[in-house]
């Protein structure tokens, strides 16, 4: 149906640049060599820039912490953070309003006593209920900042204040926000922040990163953590730009290039671009007649890196024809997860998408809905999107 090149709009993995791909092709070296140590140092320096300067001003909001690269995806980082900070007699308050909040709670249940604050997936947290759950007996609070499964941006600053009031550690999954949106470690009282290479950092899947603050380091007990996830050991080795175990050398090289590209763009500029493109997706889809999911409320707002939309009633529950029509146009988007399968679709603007690629995503969704028998106004969607961008004609996609 199309001769357009493949466009990946899934909320991870996201497209990577040619330079990131090429970085993986260099000759193999030992993970204990000076060559590898130089790669680790580049990746660590770039990650610390991202973790510490994720603001609209570009000013630092964290200091004195350490970025660690882990040989595993962000679930490893989540487990490492929990397992190193609490033991079986301690209490964790886990906030759950989507798949990844639930995952955090399930991880914590293996290591400690867990009190959940549960709301419907896509619902907003009642901060009074959160305040009631966090007490002086709480050792750790876990929360997802940008809930990828529902496209919600949760109120981390307010919860961080509540955790700090009770001297509880605060661990935050910033997997689909760090590298694409504002994230203020010290201002939000975050002790350990977690992100993933394959999301807003725009690197290949397989690695994750955590930022361990100095205040968190005082509470880390690696002996009770899984052997592979002993953060004390990782911190000691990072001092010499090494990991405790064999590193995925090509992936580290790719990550080093990816974070250097982020620093070259500048976090302030990158955040502004992500916010603009997310608004383009939202306004374009709304103009063609679609309803957003979820219906954000209070301190909870729509994501700036993942856009979730309710599927129209005519194909809800049986959207295969729609997704097939998207795939025929050489575009990949995501459906809902778990019980939201068949209820929503999700698109990502993480990474280095050009505005024209966002417009192509809107056009593809509109045309695919029409193919599936939905009365969608594709031209109205494109018109609203272009108006939001301030353009009247599509701009050329960059070479990849």
Average pLDDT value for residue range 139-158:
97
Q: What is the side-by-side order of every strand in the sheet holding 146-147?
A: 146-147, 152-153, 301-302
pTM: 0.94
| Residues 397/356, Cβ–Cβ less than 8 Å | yes
- DSSP H helices, the chain, are 18-23, 34-52, 74-85, 99-109, 127-133, 156-165, 214-217, 231-238, 249-265, 267-287, 320-328, 355-371, 378-389
Confidence of residue 31 (pLDDT cuts 50, 70, 90): very high
Asked if pLDDT for residue 86 goes beyond 60, the answer is yes
Asked if pLDDT for residue 394 goes beyond 90, the answer is no
Asked if pLDDT for residue 400 goes beyond 50, the answer is no
Average pLDDT value for residue range 342-370:
97
Domains and CATH numbers, the chain: 7-13+267-389 (3.90.1150.10), 19-265 (3.40.640.10)
Asked if pLDDT for residue 304 goes beyond 70, the answer is yes
Asked if pLDDT for residue 316 goes beyond 60, the answer is yes
Average pLDDT value for residue range 296-319:
93
Cβ-Cβ contacts under 8 Å for 288 (sequence gap 6 or more)? 362, 365, 366, 369, 376, 377, 378, 380, 381
Distance, in Å, from the CA atom of 121 to the CA atom of 322, rounded to the nearest integer, reads 23
Average pLDDT value for residue range 268-290:
97
Higher pLDDT, 10 or 395: 10
Its sign, for the CA torsion 375, 305, 174, 168, is negative
Confidence of residue 399 (pLDDT cuts 50, 70, 90): very low
């Amino acid at each position: 149906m199309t001769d357009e090149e493949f466009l990946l709009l899934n909320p991870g993995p996201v497209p990577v640049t040619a330079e990131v791909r090429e970085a993986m092709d260099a000759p193999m070296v030992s993970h204990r060599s000076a060559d590898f140590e130089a790669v680790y140092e580049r990746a660590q320096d770039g990650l610390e820039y991202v973790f510490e300067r994720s603001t609209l001003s570009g000013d630092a909001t964290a200091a004195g912490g350490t970025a660690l690269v882990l040989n595993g995806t962000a679930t490893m980082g989540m487990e490492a953070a929990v397992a190193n900070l609490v033991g079986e007699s301690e209490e964790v308050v886990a906030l759950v309003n989507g798949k990844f909040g639930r995952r955090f709670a399930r991880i914590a249940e293996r290591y400690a006593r867990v009190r959940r604050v549960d709301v419907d997936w896509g619902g907003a947290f009642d901060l009074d209920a959160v305040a009631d759950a966090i007490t002086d007996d709480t050792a750790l609070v876990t929360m997802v900042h940008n809930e990828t499964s529902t496209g919600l941006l949760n109120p981390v600053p307010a919860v961080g204040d509540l955790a700090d009031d009770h001297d509880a550690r605060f661990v935050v999954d910033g997997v689909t926000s760090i590298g694409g949106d504002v994230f203020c470690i010290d201002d939000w009282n975050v002790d350990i922040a977690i992100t993933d290479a394959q999301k807003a950092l725009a690197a290949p899947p397989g690695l994750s990163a955590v930022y361990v603050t100095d205040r968190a380091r005082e509470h880390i007990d690696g002996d009770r953590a899984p052997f592979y996830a002993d953060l004390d050991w990782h911190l000691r080795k990072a001092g010499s730009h090494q990991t405790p175990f064999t590193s995925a050398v090509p992936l580290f090289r790719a990550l080093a290039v990816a974070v250097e590209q982020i620093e070259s763009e500048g976090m302030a500029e990158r955040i502004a671009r992500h916010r603009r493109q997310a608004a383009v997706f939202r306004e374009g889809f709304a103009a063609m007649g679609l309803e957003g999911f979820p219906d954000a409320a209070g301190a909870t707002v729509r994501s700036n890196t993942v856009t979730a939309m309710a599927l129209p009633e005519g194909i809800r529950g049986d959207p295969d024809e729609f997704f097939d029509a998207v795939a025929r146009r050489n575009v990949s988007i995501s459906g809902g997860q778990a019980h939201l399968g068949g209820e929503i679709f999700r698109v990502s603007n993480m990474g280095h998408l050009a505005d024209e690629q966002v417009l192509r995503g809107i056009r593809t969704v509109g045309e695919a809905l029409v193919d599936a028998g939905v009365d969608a106004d594709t031209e109205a969607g494109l018109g609203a999107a272009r108006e939001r961008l301030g353009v009247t004609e599509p701009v050329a996609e960059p070479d990849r």
